[in-house]
């Protein structure tokens, strides 16, 4: 029997070594990049709420379909070492694995499909484009654009029986750390970023997906 029935995995700086919004900003030049990286960092440290910057960052960048395709390639390129094997092994052990991200769904979906995730097991924020592929808006109904979004969504999934307990969540940011007390264990992922505010409240640190697999399968 695995130690956990379900695993909730963050995407940016956890499953993949990129912050999607920062990558998109870099395509708009150094000034936009500096402003957006600073905002993202403050949000992931918990200094400002995500909802105060979510729309602002996208309006500054206005990512096109082509930008999102480039980001999808970057997600695939920066996939955490061993993540594919670990996710396969956890699934074979009967563990349910889902992705919960405040990132852009259309950019994450290709790598998620490569890793065998059903579209219904990828929870992220959709963008809308016009026919020419220009940015129109983001899904303003998604809780994942807000600071309490992950706990709200994960609580729903648990209550609907779509995530069996015990549940472990793994992520690197302040929005992930909000899952403390909602899931049964929260692991700070430190393979790409070390955020002391997140590590401080986490039940444990996990530096690699191989280690995550051991913990989930009860082999640590």
Residues of this chain that interact with Mg ion (CB under 5 A) are 10, 12-14, 172-173
Three-class secondary structure of residue 154 per DSSP: helix
Cα separation, 61 vs 59, in Å, equals 5
Q: Which is nearer to Mg ion, 11 or 95 (by Cβ)?
A: 11
Secondary structure element (H or E) that encloses residue 26, with its range: helix 20-26
From the CB of 25, what's the least distance to Mg ion, in Å?
16
Task: Tell how strand 96-104 and strand 122-125 pair up.
Answer: parallel
Nearer to Mg ion among residue 18 and residue 95 (C-beta): 18
Interstrand relation of 127-129 and 135-138 (parallel, antiparallel or unpaired): antiparallel
197 vs 209: CA distance, rounded Å:
21
Pick between residue 74 and residue 172 the one whose CB is nearest to Mg ion. Answer: 172
In contact, 174 and 155? CB cutoff 8 Å: no
For residue 81, the minimal CB distance to Mg ion (Å) is 17
> Closest approach of Cβ 11 to Mg ion, in Å?
7
Cα–Cα distance between 98 and 10 in angstroms, integer? Answer: 9
Residue pair 74/104 in contact (Cβ under 8 Å)? The answer is no
Between CA 69 and CA 108 the distance in angstroms is 10
Q: Which is nearer to Mg ion, 2 or 103 (CB)?
A: 103
- Taking each helix axis from N to C end, the angle separating 209-216 and 83-92, rounded to the nearest 10 degrees, works out to 10
- Please report how close the Cβ of residue 22 comes to Mg ion at its closest, in angstroms: 11
Residue 36 or residue 64: which is nearer to Mg ion going by CB?
36
What is the closest distance, in whole angstroms, from the C-beta atom of residue 13 to Mg ion in the complex? 4
Least distance CB 136 / Mg ion (angstroms): 25
CB-wise, 195 or 217, nearer to Mg ion? 195
């Amino acid at each position: 029997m695995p130690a956990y029935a379900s695993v909730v995995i963050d995407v940016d700086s956890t499953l993949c070594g990129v912050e999607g919004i920062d990558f998109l900003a870099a395509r708009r030049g150094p000034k936009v990049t500096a402003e957006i990286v600073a905002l993202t960092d403050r949000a992931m440290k918990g200094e400002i709420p995500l909802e105060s910057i979510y729309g602002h960052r996208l309006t500054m960048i206005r990512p096109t379909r082509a930008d999102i395709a480039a980001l999808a390639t970057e997600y695939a390129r920066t996939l955490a070492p061993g993540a594919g094997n670990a996710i396969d092994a956890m699934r074979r052990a009967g563990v349910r694995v889902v992705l919960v991200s405040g990132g852009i769904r259309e950019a994450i979906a290709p790598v998620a499909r490569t890793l065998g995730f059903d579209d219904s097991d990828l929870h992220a924020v959709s963008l809308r484009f016009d026919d020419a592929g220009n940015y129109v808006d983001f899904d303003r109904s998604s809780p994942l654009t807000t600071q309490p979004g992950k706990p709200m969504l994960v609580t729903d999934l648990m209550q609907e029986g779509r995530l069996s307990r015990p549940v472990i969540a793994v992520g690197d940011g302040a929005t992930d750390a909000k899952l403390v007390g909602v899931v049964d264990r929260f692991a700070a992922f430190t393979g790409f970023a070390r955020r002391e505010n997140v590590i401080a409240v986490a039940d444990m640190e996990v530096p690699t997906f191989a280690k995550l697999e051991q913990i989930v399968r009860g082999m640590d």
